[in-house]
């Protein structure tokens, strides 16, 4: 499929989800626009190729690569698009890279626009990966903006992963599924930040299996639910060896929203050390009053507190 032109709307989405002012001048990238290509570049250390059996790409990062980035944003600016995309990441032994993903939907129409992304990570021995994924929706149309990401992570001995997922706003419905399997000496930190408003719904299932000796994981969820929105979170850590894991869920609930948080820990080894905690509550009144005494009105004071909570 030929490459498509990028509009000002697309550039705005690209800035929001990937921090880019346009096509990156250097480095590996793949930009997907309305189920087609809007540009791609491989480098000598990072190769991006199209899959031949289904929509999506393979990203192969050579062993020993240091301090390189790869951008793989997805943009939908039309109503009625529904796609499922499969992306596989193969990270070589000893590599140290940052992967910036994310999806932005601009829908001014009456039909639903949906992106379902399936990402698999195969992280080699002693490799280090930082993965950033941002989701955002906008548009004046009545059509829904839907994103359903699924992530699988397979980590070899001594590797580490910092995973940051953010839903900035404007997504009417999302179901997130994450599965990670850790080998010996692996370290994973997963941070999930999300806000819902209106009648939006968000559901997240996270399972981290600590199969290797001396593996460790931190799973942190921080969310805000406004208006009539609904959130459900089910993070689970399974310890199958001498390992450590900490699961924490914090939510601010406002208006008529509903939040359910069900953290779970499961030990299948006497040497597993697992902890979980969860908290759901309203905005702290003392913080609110303190800001209002500085001359800030209540609505703006709430916004400041929410912004700080999600930062």
What's the pLDDT score for residue 299? 87
Q: What is the mean pLDDT of residues 112-130?
A: 97
Residue 64: closest CA among 45, 49, 90: 45
Q: Do residues 306 and 224 make contact, with C-beta atoms less than 8 angstroms apart? A: yes
What's the pLDDT score for residue 289? 85
Q: Do residues 219 and 237 make contact, with C-beta atoms less than 8 angstroms apart? A: yes
Contacts of 139 (CB under 8 A, 6+ apart): 105, 106, 107, 108, 109, 145, 170
Q: Do residues 212 and 183 make contact, with C-beta atoms less than 8 angstroms apart? A: yes
Q: What is the mean pLDDT of residues 69-83?
A: 97
Does the residue 300 lie in any domain? no
Does the residue 285 lie in any domain? no
Does the residue 159 lie in any domain? yes
Q: What is the mean pLDDT of residues 182-198?
A: 97
Mean pLDDT value across the chain: 95
Does the residue 196 lie in any domain? yes
Domain total for the chain? 1
What's the pLDDT score for residue 4? 64
Does the residue 307 lie in any domain? no
Residue 216: closest CA among 272, 264, 152, 178: 272
pLDDT digits (tens, 9 = 90+) for 138-189: 999 999 999 999 999 999 999 999 999 999 889 999 999 999 999 999 999 9
pLDDT digits (tens, 9 = 90+) for 232-274: 999 999 999 999 999 999 999 999 999 999 999 999 999 999 9
| Lookup: tokens for 245 | 């894991």
Residue 233: closest CA among 292, 287, 277: 277
| Lookup: tokens for 173 | 């419905």
Q: Do residues 143 and 170 make contact, with C-beta atoms less than 8 angstroms apart? A: no
Please determine, for residue 1, whether its predicted confidence score (pLDDT) is greater than 80. Answer: no
| Lookup: tokens for 212 | 């290797």
What's the pLDDT score for residue 2? 42
Planar angle of CA 281, 144, 254, nearest 5 degrees: 15
Q: Do residues 203 and 171 make contact, with C-beta atoms less than 8 angstroms apart? A: no
Q: What is the mean pLDDT of residues 90-109?
A: 97
% of the chain at pLDDT higher than 70 = 99
Please determine, for residue 93, whether its predicted confidence score (pLDDT) is greater than 80. Answer: yes
Does the residue 119 lie in any domain? yes
Please determine, for residue 96, whether its predicted confidence score (pLDDT) is greater than 50. Answer: yes
Does the residue 76 lie in any domain? yes
Distance between CA atoms of 283 and 197, rounded to whole angstroms? 16
Distance of alpha carbon 163 from its chain centroid, rounded?
Answer: 7
Expressed as residue numbers, the domain containing 113 is 8-219+232-249+256-278
pLDDT band at 84 (very low <50, low <70, confident <90, very high): very high
Please determine, for residue 54, whether its predicted confidence score (pLDDT) is greater than 70. Answer: yes
Please determine, for residue 19, whether its predicted confidence score (pLDDT) is greater than 80. Answer: yes
Distance between CA atoms of 251 and 298, rounded to whole angstroms? 20
Q: What is the mean pLDDT of residues 8-35?
A: 94
Distance between CA atoms of 209 and 150, rounded to whole angstroms? 16
Contacts of 183 (CB under 8 A, 6+ apart): 155, 156, 157, 159, 211, 212, 215
Looking at the DSSP assignment, which residues form a beta bridge with residue 36?
33
Distance between CA atoms of 68 and 99, rounded to whole angstroms? 9
What's the pLDDT score for residue 3? 53
Give the CA-trace dihedral at 163, 287, 295, 255, to 10 degrees. Answer: 80
Q: Do residues 108 and 144 make contact, with C-beta atoms less than 8 angstroms apart? A: no
Residue 155: closest CA among 118, 205, 120: 120
Does the residue 287 lie in any domain? no
- The CA radius of gyration of the chain, in Å to the nearest whole number, is 20
Distance between CA atoms of 32 and 38, rounded to whole angstroms? 6
Please give the DSSP secondary-structure letter assigned to residue 87. Answer: E
pTM: 0.94
Please give the DSSP secondary-structure letter assigned to residue 310. Answer: H
């Amino acid at each position: 499929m030929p490459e498509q032109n990028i509009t000002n709307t697309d550039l705005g989405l690209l800035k929001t989800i990937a921090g880019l002012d346009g096509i990156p001048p250097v480095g590996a990238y793949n930009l997907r626009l309305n189920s087609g290509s809007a540009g791609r570049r491989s480098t000598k250390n990072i190769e991006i190729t199209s899959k031949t059996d289904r929509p999506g790409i393979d990203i192969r990062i050579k062993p020993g690569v240091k301090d390189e980035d790869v951008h793989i944003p997805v943009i939908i600016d039309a109503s009625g698009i529904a796609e499922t995309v499969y992306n596989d990441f193969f990270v070589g032994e000893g590599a140290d890279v940052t992967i910036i993903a994310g999806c932005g939907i601009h829908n001014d129409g009456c039909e639903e626009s949906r992106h379902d992304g399936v990402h698999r990570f195969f992280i080699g021995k002693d490799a280090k990966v930082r993965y950033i994924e941002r989701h955002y929706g906008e548009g004046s149309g009545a059509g829904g903006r839907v994103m359903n990401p699924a992530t699988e992570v397979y980590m070899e001995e001594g590797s580490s992963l910092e995973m940051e997922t953010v839903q900035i706003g404007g997504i009417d419905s999302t179901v997130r599924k994450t599965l990670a399997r850790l080998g010996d000496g692996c370290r994973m930190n997963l941070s999930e930040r999300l806000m819902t408003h209106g009648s939006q719904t968000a559901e997240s299932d996270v399972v981290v299996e600590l199969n290797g000796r001396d593996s460790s994981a931190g799973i942190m969820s921080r969310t805000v639910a406004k208006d009539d929105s609904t959130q459900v979170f089910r993070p689970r850590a399974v310890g199958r060896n001498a390992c450590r894991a900490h699961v924490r869920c914090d939510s601010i609930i406002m208006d008529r929203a509903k939040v359910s948080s069900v953290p779970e820990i499961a030990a299948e080894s006497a040497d597993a050390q697992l902890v979980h905690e969860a908290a759901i509550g309203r905005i702290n009144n003392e913080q609110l009053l303190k800001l209002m005494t500085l001359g800030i009105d209540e609505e703006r004071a709430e916004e400041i507190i929410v912004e700080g909570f999600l930062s």
